[in-house]
Structure 1
Amino acid sequence: MSDYDDVWLVIPAYNEGQVIAEVVEAARKTFPNIVVVDDGSSDTTGEHVEGTGAHLVRHPVNLGQGAALQTGLRYALAQPGAEYFATFDADGQHQTKDVEVMVQLLRTGQADVVLGSRFIEQNGQVPWIKRVVLRTAAAVSPTARKLKLTDAHNGLRVLNREAARRLRITMNGMAHASEIVSFLAGSDLQVAEVPVDVLYTEYSRAKGQSLINGVNILFDISLRERGR
């Protein structure tokens, strides 16, 4: 038995064959319940998940991270005893020690959703271009300001069962992060933000958010807020 038998990690993965087994095996030392959604990878991501003890769900074609998260959350919600759900990156950037802190906060009943922030306690790891884009995204988004968020596009989140049940992610690309923040801002769910350490390895930097994608995030926020 584990202290975290009621927690499920949801890991969306697209062409992460180089690192996914290592990420899953390390996470399972703390969290036994993990579902990896192989989002139509063209490499051996799915094969590397097999044998790790994680549950594997496959999309036949690439649908985007938002769709993979929605698939993973629906799968985890259907599992017996599942009460808490963490969205966790496949590239090794997130740490289970942060998830433990976030889950404990939910257990106290002080929040329904806990979001990770790279900027509450800055450790200098965030590349400067990414820092500028992400801080600007939080500043220009009315929904992020309503929630008093410092980091509106951090992929590390933990939700209780009610929040996960109510969440519907319809934007399949990276824009899902803005959609989640908008959903939370319009709900009666209690949202907390805590500091987390994101590890920017050479691998994750190579696969990470480019400046162009960062500009796309800002454009997406503008369109979403205009349509509200």
Structure 2
Amino acid sequence: MRNLIVMPAFNEEDSLARTVASLDRLPAGYEVLVVDDGSTDGTGAVARRLTSRLPVHVLHLPVNSGIGVAVQSGYRFALARGGYDYVIQFDADGQHDAAAVVPLVERCERDGLDLCIGSRFLDPAGAGFRSTAARRVGIRFFAALIGALSGVRVTDPTSGLRCAGPRAWRRFAEHYPEDYPEPESLFWCARNKLRVGELPVTMSERAGGVSSIRRLGTVYYMTKVTMAIVFDRLRGTELVVA
């Protein structure tokens, strides 16, 4: 099995090297793609100097295009290069636990999932960072909205830690939401009857950089994503093939 870890990075010079190094314990068969999203700090220079036991590829986008474009660039890379089974999104800010990568892939394999989300809210011990109170309200809102419109129950629709199988990531390579796409892409999978699941993960506070939600503005983010999900619900089911 050959899997690609896509790591979008915008102004993450303080955390990028440590985040990539945290993946060194993964078994053979994993590769890392760092997508430098037009960073204005030293992220690009750090990415060029990265060393890892895993194969590391780097894409440099000429201008900051948003996390949706950065992640889609990763999916397009996987499609063009060929031979990948699963594509895992893993943020560069140090929030995600590398130990969750293999279980996400194994869950997709075992249960035939097209998309598996790493959820910080499924751990019964409540360990790790669960975002701010205001952000949790927004997360619960999107979870309720997606559940009401698709019948698929999720707890962490905005999680940036996720594993996509071929039916999902090949489609995402061609069409993927802009700005902050996690809830929208999750809803697309649910609406089109792809198999979606979650796995408990532990997250940490970001080690550097600024959240893309903060850059967009919370009101704009909530309004834009809500409208996109509602309008997507009006579309007919698409034929999805592997």
The answer on whether the counterparts of 2:13 and 2:42 sit within 8 Å (CA) in structure 1 is yes
The answer on whether the counterparts of 2:2 and 2:86 sit within 8 Å (CA) in structure 1 is yes
Give me the identity figure in percent: 30
2:8 alignment counterpart:
12
What SS class does the counterpart of residue 68 from structure 1 fall into? helix
Q: Please list, as runs of the form range in 1=range in 2, the aligned pairs for 1:193-212 lying within 5 A after superposition.
A: 193-201=198-206, 203-204=207-208, 207-208=210-211, 209-210=213-214
Normalization by structure 1: what TM-score?
0.86
The answer on whether the counterparts of 2:147 and 2:154 sit within 8 Å (CA) in structure 1 is no
2:239 alignment counterpart:
none
Q: 1:29 aligns with which of 19, 25, 30?
A: 25
- d(CA) in 1 for partners of 2:31 and 2:84? 9
- d(CA) in 1 for partners of 2:148 and 2:2? 30
Q: 1:21 to 1:199 in 2, by over 3 A?
A: same
The answer on whether the counterparts of 2:150 and 2:191 sit within 8 Å (CA) in structure 1 is no
Number of equivalent positions: 221
The two structures, once aligned, show a CA RMSD in angstroms of 2.3
Q: 1:173 aligns with which of 150, 169, 179?
A: 179
1:102 alignment counterpart:
104
- d(CA) in 2 for partners of 1:39 and 1:19? 15
The answer on whether the counterparts of 2:128 and 2:203 sit within 8 Å (CA) in structure 1 is no
Deviation at 1:90, TM superposition (A): 0.6
Q: 1:182 aligns with which of 187, 190, 197?
A: 187
Normalization by structure 2: what TM-score?
0.82
- d(CA) in 2 for partners of 1:224 and 1:15? 27
Gap regions ≥5 residues in structure 1? none
The one-letter code of the counterpart of 2:224 is: D
2:237 alignment counterpart:
none
Gap regions ≥5 residues in structure 2? 235-242
- d(CA) in 2 for partners of 1:190 and 1:155? 18
2:63 aligned with 1:61, yes or no? yes
Q: 1:29 to 1:124 in 2, by over 3 A?
A: closer
The answer on whether the counterparts of 1:39 and 1:59 sit within 8 Å (CA) in structure 2 is yes
2:41 aligned with 1:43, yes or no? yes
